[in-house]
Amino acid sequence: MSEHHPHEETARSPYAARIRAIEALLLEKDVLTEPEVQDRISYMEARSPANGAKLVARAWLDDDFNELLLSDGKAAASALGMDPEHPAEFVVVENTPTIHNLIVCTLCSCYPRAILGRPPDWYKSFEYRSRAVREPRAVMREFGFEPPEEVEVLVHDSTADVRYMVLPMRPSGTEELGEQELARLVTRDTLVGVSVPLAPDHPIPADA
């Protein structure tokens, strides 16, 4: 294979090679056009956990927005300029001092892609999918977080036409922070519920 071949990365993974072959066939048979493929790539690349962090930070600062986010997730996303259009519903569940939420899709890898983009690889793993419903506290412990014993753990298995995101609790000591600073404390894993936001004195992570 030439060093400058545009699909050089196909050498790295049999899955990538297979996808490239399927893509080439779909184009050759006029099932898809090149612009359609590019549109889809742009769609996914325009979405990231930063959208979720932005929704969370605004909800922490604005009670009306908090209420909107919990009652109509798509309307809240639209209000911040995101494009939440997707056939599935988008529902946000709220952590409180007595409730901690965890999201999983045991059947496949349902995830609010219209808002957050692609799920993390571990979210699609057989291990996470099978264990998150059966031993959620052990799974969270392995991610470095354990809800206090008296907190109820609610697991949401996204089995059908609803995609879930967690609204975590605002960390203490963040009263002086603005929206962008708050958003940087909200990691991708926080939005699935396997973790909680960073403490305000945590070193700021590099942009993902």
Residues making contact with other proteins (CB under 8 A) = 89, 106-107, 133-138, 149-162
CB 155 within 8 A of CB 104: yes
CB 202 within 8 A of CB 130: no
The verdict on whether 158 is a catalytic residue reads: no
CB 23 within 8 A of CB 38: no
Q: Smaller CB distance to other proteins: residue 136 or 171?
A: 136
On the CB side of 19, how many CA atoms lie within 13 Å of its CA? 10
Distance, CA of 101 to chain centre: 14
Q: Smaller CB distance to other proteins: residue 16 or 107?
A: 107
Q: Report which DSSP code applies to 199.
A: P
- In the complex, what is the shortest distance from the CB of residue 107 to other proteins, in angstroms, rounded to a whole number? 6
- In the complex, what is the shortest distance from the CB of residue 36 to other proteins, in angstroms, rounded to a whole number? 20
- In the complex, what is the shortest distance from the CB of residue 200 to other proteins, in angstroms, rounded to a whole number? 29
Element (H, E) at 116: helix 113-116
The verdict on whether 130 is a catalytic residue reads: no
From the list 109, 158, 172, 195, the catalytic residue is: 109
Q: Smaller CB distance to other proteins: residue 66 or 101?
A: 101
The verdict on whether 2 is a catalytic residue reads: no
Report helix, strand and coil shares of the chain as percent, to nearest 5: 45, 10, 40
Q: Smaller CB distance to other proteins: residue 101 or 187?
A: 101
From the list 13, 108, 125, 130, the catalytic residue is: 108
The verdict on whether 48 is a catalytic residue reads: no
Residues with a catalytic annotation lie at: 105, 108-110
